[in-house]
Amino acid sequence: MKKYQINNRGHSRGDERMSVKQSPLRRLKINVLICSIIILGFVAIGLFTTFSIQDSYTDSIRDISALSSQAMYTDILYMLEQPVNIASAMSKDTLLRDLMPQELEDGAFTDTVKAYLGEYQKTYGFDSVFLVSCQSRRYYHYANGIDRVLETGDPEDRWYFTFLEGSEDYSLNVDNDEAHGDKITIFVNCKVKGTDGRTLGVVGVGLETAYFQNLITEYEQKYGVGAYLIDRSGNVEVSSLPGEAGVRNLFEESEFSDMKGHLEAASSYDDEVWYTGEKSTGYRITRYIPRLNWYLVVEKNTHEMQQKMTNQLLLIILVAIIIILSMLAITTVILQRFNRSMLRLAEYDQLTGVRNRRCYELDIAGREQSLAAGSSLGIGIFDLNGLKAINDAYGHQVGDMYIKEFARLLSRIFGEGTVYRIGGDEFAVILTDSDDAQVTMCWERLKKEMAAKDMGQDIPLDASFGYAFYNQDNLNTMDAVFRAADEGMYQNKRRSQNETSMEDETTMEATERKNEFESNHP
């Protein structure tokens, strides 16, 4: 007799299946692990890309700022070089030096000076060419002749008296050109001295700041920078916006306030620095222009670019989140399908499609623990008859066909969820809420359908059956119920074999009598 011990260790069916079917917590851990790997990958790539771009961007900002600053500095010096040289040459011209003492006595002095100044303007294209006589304070202009007489109390003329009081031989100042429509002009002023060293007058030329504004505007548009010409006090002398000259002070702005101490303390100051202000951040280059005694300030505002980089990073994060969520969804679906596949492999018999012995043991253990008082629970055991003979005579493929057909009939009659294949040719059925009459009726129906089934071979589809119920005949454990059902099945098999043997003997006796009769009555 074959004996099968029921696993009755007290574990619930759900607990036992945790090793096969992943719990939600386990799936969560897997998803978290996958997400962590993806997130770490994106973070690593994002950080590497961000730092690489930032380094490249930083180098680019430095290069652009340095290039534009150097180019503007060179162009400004070039623009100033000629006016300074020409004004200096005029101040040393012996013709002018010899002519000036004759100012009041020579009636043609005004025309002579006007022609003299006009020739320089025509030759070099300056916006203004002028001469101021110390003797008369007359302001001679290349176009107007005597334009006006300078007064000590006039703010517009303060530059002249301040320059005379100083020790410098030349100076530059930004002022309105009263002789030329009050246009803002950079004047180069040089002292004309006699042979005795006494100052005879001031000669000079002027360039409208529009030239410098155009230069700054051109470089700002070309390189995307901001540029200013400022004095030592931070006042903007020239910028791309005409209204800023004499009005805007860079030291009052947080982005440039750190320059104040340096410019006021040093005779010259050059610097390159990253700055952070209330409204912007960027890179700034400061260069001293000795001829002007001004400073060229070039700044590259990086706020907009940093905002673009931030938006780009946010876009990367958004894409990463979408990819992560997509990966989570795909991974969850794959894991669920894999779990279902593994669960079916673990709980179902691959040949017949019914549940296997492992699943049977788990189900029985769970049902026994939750068995309510007054409810019935039983086990039916089936064993295919003659399977070995079928395998020997026709091969295992035909034997498998018998097994599958028998499993199909069992599932149809007893219910799909109650049938288990527990051995090669043995099946079990869990009987719930049933009695002897119902079980007998199902067994009779099964025998009838087996007898009617044409398997295409000489050996018919046949089986033996035994069953038992819990708490009947002192069967108070499912292990005892199983053994009783198994014993009942073998008793049924022996009866079937005895009946078959008796039928064979009767058939043989009848055949012998027939043969004897035929031999006696030829």
| 259 close to 272: Cβ distance less than 8 angstroms | no
For tokens 């030592």, the residue is: 232
Judged against a pLDDT cut of 70, whether residue 450 lies above it is answered with yes
Judged against a pLDDT cut of 50, whether residue 19 lies above it is answered with no
The pLDDT value recorded for residue 445 is 95
Q: Please state the separation of Cα 210 from the chain's center in Å.
A: 48
Question: Does residue 127 share a domain with residue 243?
Answer: no
- pLDDT tier for residue 7 given thresholds of 50, 70 and 90: very low
Closest by Cα among 67, 75, 141 to 111:
141
Question: Does residue 246 share a domain with residue 144?
Answer: no
The pLDDT value recorded for residue 347 is 84
CB burial of residue 449 (10 Å; 0-12, 13-18, 19+): middle
Question: Does residue 220 share a domain with residue 136?
Answer: no
* Among 281, 305, 329, residue at a domain's last position: 305
What does the pLDDT average to over 261-289?
A: 83
What does the pLDDT average to over 208-220?
A: 87
Question: Does residue 368 share a domain with residue 472?
Answer: yes
The pLDDT value recorded for residue 372 is 64
Is residue 463 in a domain?
A: yes
Residue 190 is encoded by which pair of tokens? 């040089």
> At 288, which amino acid appears?
Y
Q: Could you give the angle at which helices 396-414 and 436-452 cross, rounded to 10 degrees?
A: 140
Residue 130 is encoded by which pair of tokens? 């002028």
Question: Does residue 240 share a domain with residue 187?
Answer: no
* Among 167, 184, 204, residue at a domain's last position: 204
Is residue 333 in a domain?
A: no
* Full strand arrangement of the beta sheet holding 271-276: 236-239, 226-230, 294-301, 281-289, 271-276
Judged against a pLDDT cut of 50, whether residue 436 lies above it is answered with yes
Question: Does residue 375 share a domain with residue 488?
Answer: yes
Q: What is the DSSP letter of 50?
A: H
The pLDDT value recorded for residue 500 is 54
Judged against a pLDDT cut of 50, whether residue 393 lies above it is answered with yes
The pLDDT value recorded for residue 522 is 57
pLDDT 10s digits, 484-522: 999 999 999 988 777 655 444 444 444 454 455 456 555
- CATH at 458: 3.30.70.270
Is residue 168 in a domain?
A: yes
Rounded to an integer, what distance in angstroms lies between the CA atom of residue 506 and that of residue 50? 97
The pLDDT value recorded for residue 15 is 45
Q: Give counts: helices (H), strands (E), the chain.
A: 13, 16
Is residue 273 in a domain?
A: yes
Is residue 10 in a domain?
A: no
Rounded to an integer, what distance in angstroms lies between the CA atom of residue 32 and that of residue 29? 5
Residue 481 is encoded by which pair of tokens? 């119920």
Question: Does residue 464 share a domain with residue 362?
Answer: yes
* pLDDT, greater one: 224 or 181: 224
What does the pLDDT average to over 203-211?
A: 88
The pLDDT value recorded for residue 519 is 62
Question: Does residue 396 share a domain with residue 360?
Answer: yes
Rounded to an integer, what distance in angstroms lies between the CA atom of residue 63 and that of residue 303? 17
pLDDT 10s digits, 91-119: 999 989 989 998 888 888 999 999 999 99
Is residue 39 in a domain?
A: no
The pLDDT value recorded for residue 360 is 92
pLDDT 10s digits, 43-87: 777 777 777 777 777 788 888 888 888 988 888 888 888 898 999
Q: Is the pTM of this model over 0.75?
A: no
- pLDDT tier for residue 6 given thresholds of 50, 70 and 90: very low
* pLDDT, greater one: 502 or 408: 408
The pLDDT value recorded for residue 426 is 95
Is residue 86 in a domain?
A: no
Q: Could you give the angle at which helices 303-347 and 24-91 cross, rounded to 10 degrees?
A: 160
The pLDDT value recorded for residue 35 is 73
Closest by Cα among 229, 131, 234 to 186:
229
Of 9-23, 145-159, 160-174, 304-318, the poorest mean pLDDT is in 9-23
The pLDDT value recorded for residue 49 is 74
The pLDDT value recorded for residue 115 is 94
- pLDDT tier for residue 334 given thresholds of 50, 70 and 90: confident
Question: Does residue 224 share a domain with residue 189?
Answer: no
pLDDT 10s digits, 266-279: 777 788 888 887 77
The domain tally of the chain equals 3
Residue 359 is encoded by which pair of tokens? 């699943």
Mean pLDDT of the chain: 83
The pLDDT value recorded for residue 247 is 87
Give the 3-state secondary structure of residue 118.
helix
- CATH at 293: 3.30.450.20
The pLDDT value recorded for residue 517 is 46
Question: Does residue 197 share a domain with residue 220?
Answer: no
Closest by Cα among 287, 283, 264 to 273:
283
- pLDDT tier for residue 10 given thresholds of 50, 70 and 90: very low
- pLDDT tier for residue 254 given thresholds of 50, 70 and 90: confident
Question: Does residue 449 share a domain with residue 383?
Answer: yes
* Among 170, 185, 204, residue at a domain's last position: 204
* pLDDT, greater one: 279 or 148: 148
Judged against a pLDDT cut of 90, whether residue 444 lies above it is answered with yes
Rounded to an integer, what distance in angstroms lies between the CA atom of residue 198 and that of residue 99? 15
What does the pLDDT average to over 232-238?
A: 88
Domain that holds residue 254: 211-305
Is residue 63 in a domain?
A: no
The pLDDT value recorded for residue 332 is 79
Question: Does residue 254 share a domain with residue 129?
Answer: no
> At 309, which amino acid appears?
M
